[in-house]
Homo-oligomer: A and B are copies of this chain.
Amino acid sequence: MDKFCFGIDIGGTTIKCGLFTANGELKEKWEIPSRTENGGIQVPQDVADTIDAKLKELSIEKKDVLGVGIGVPGPITEDGTVLKCANLGWDIFNVNEKMSALTGLKVATANDANVAALGEMWMGGGKGYKNIVMVTLGTGVGGGVILNGKIVAGSNGGGGEIGHMTMNLDEKETCGCGKHGHLEQYASATGIVRLAKKRLLDTSVTTSLRELAEVTAKDIFDHAKAGDTVALELVEELGRYLGLALSHVAAAVDPQVFVIGGGVSRAGSMLLDVISKYYNQNIIFALSNKEFRLAELGNDAGIYGCAKLVIG
């Protein structure tokens, strides 16, 4: 009989679920809603129930399940203690113990950005490497550091919090975290749109972006590819901050490859080129010419990484 495991990526809106074989084949994937009301108290039971239902549906016995890997949207220590999880309303508790009691299965838990990085290392843009740094450029900037094939969770669950590196000491606007000038304010989808809106306030600036009712990150890259000078400058600005930030990460942990994911990464090679340009401008020679790759698993990176947590 084949062995199986579950990858459960808990988000603020939906819980993405995957059933994998022990060698990493995704057999089934589905979603259930995240019931975040009442401090998210229902979420653990919902996860246990959907696992039970799937096992019953496919006539898989628990003895053939290696375990359940879980990703949560907040800082979590290596032993599975979630420290605060605003998106779910969760307080402090040990997810491994709770979910193990509910499912009767072995459970491993990690931060969602970190499991995405692990998933990309295993089966995506970082395949073949053991030391990768992933950044996810979405609404925010998430990050994950994988060394020797393992997540660097950090002593406060803050490993890979790359989006909150302070990149601009002169920034007046506030980051989501309350500080100023963090990478997320420039290199996320929200961030580059913010920069664009600031440029458009200057009525003397001529740009094809002005013709749009609303500017998105995709628009900015599309107009840059079409040659619009202002859009090109905005892409450069994103690349300048992100390339510099990744040079800082490299000076700390010297990975083999950087994997860039999230919605903004759909801009493709133009994005990789501008990041690597500014990375190489700043990095010490011994660490130059790292590989920059696009993520490949999209929204499935998390469930893959969760499964890998269990498979080891």
Contacts A155-B131, A166-B244, A248-B248 given; indicate if A145 touches B253 (C-beta within 8 A).
yes
* Distance to closest chain B CB from A190 (angstroms): 17
Decide if B254 touches A154 in the complex (CB within 8 Å).
yes
Chain A stretch 72-101: residues in CB contact (< 8 A) with chain B: 75, 83-84
Q: In the complex, what distance in Å separates the CA atom of A157 from the CA atom of B250?
A: 11
Chain B proximity mask over A270-285: 1 for CB below 8 Å, otherwise 0 = 0000000000001111
For chain A, the count of residues having a C-beta within 8 Å of the partner chain is 45
Decide if B178 touches A285 in the complex (CB within 8 Å).
yes
Chain A stretch 234-250: residues in CB contact (< 8 A) with chain B: 244-245, 247-250
* Distance to closest chain B CB from A150 (angstroms): 9
Is A125 on the interface with B (CB-CB < 8 A)? no
Q: Give which listed residue, B84, B178, B254, contacts A158 with CB less than 8 A.
A: B254
Decide if A152 touches B253 in the complex (CB within 8 Å).
yes
Decide if B254 touches A161 in the complex (CB within 8 Å).
yes
* Distance to closest chain B CB from A86 (angstroms): 11
Is A179 on the interface with B (CB-CB < 8 A)? yes
Q: In the complex, what distance in Å separates the CA atom of A248 from the CA atom of B155?
A: 15
Decide if B254 touches A156 in the complex (CB within 8 Å).
yes
Contacts A177-B284, A177-B285, A284-B177 given; indicate if A253 touches B165 (C-beta within 8 A).
no
Is A32 on the interface with B (CB-CB < 8 A)? no
**Nearest residue in B to A248 (C-beta to C-beta)?**
B248
* Distance to closest chain B CB from A144 (angstroms): 10
18 A-B contacts, Cβ less than 8 Å apart? Answer: A83-B286, A145-B253, A147-B147, A152-B253, A152-B254, A157-B254, A158-B286, A159-B254, A160-B251, A164-B251, A165-B248, A166-B247, A166-B248, A166-B282, A178-B285, A245-B248, A248-B249, A252-B252
